[in-house]
Amino acid sequence: MALIDPVEVIVAYLTGGVLGAAAEGRVATRHHYGDAWPVGASGVVVTLDRQWRDAPGVGRCRVNVRLYAPTDAEVSNLALLLAQMERRERFTVSTTAGEALVYNFLPDIGLWPAYDEVLKMPLGVYPVAMMYAEEALP
């Protein structure tokens, strides 16, 4: 059986939902501003904070979802869309390893407002926790 990459699961889940639609599909593991993403456009970056095993076959992770937008108000709107996608239980997400089973997808703490000095853009960091099956569904 193939092992699931939790960051890939979250990127795929967010891309396919209301947050991905608001960011026009700009959801990735690193930002692409100045390359494929226009500077000043909304974007979402998912980075792994920590990962551990809860029980045999069950993984947990915490990621930081960085929400970039042209204004603080738009960052807050992206955070609200992310909040709409949280608090889900027992759903599947398609990944390159197969179907991933997510037991839950929950907020870890609230939004941290910040500013990216390099990009000259406001952003918010929103930690999220996920519990998932470590192996793809058969």
pLDDT in tens, 97-113: 999 999 999 999 889 99
Tell me if 83 sits within 8 A of 91, measured CB to CB.
Answer: no
Band the pLDDT of 88: cuts 50, 70, 90.
confident
Tell me if 126 sits within 8 A of 82, measured CB to CB.
Answer: yes
Give the H/E segment covering residue 136: none
Exposed, middle or buried: residue 121 (CB in 10 Å: 0-12, 13-18, 19+)?
buried
The structural domains of the chain, with segments of one domain joined by +, span 6-133
pTM, to two decimals:
0.94
User: What CATH superfamily classification does 6-133 receive?
Assistant: Phage tail protein-like (3.30.2000.10)
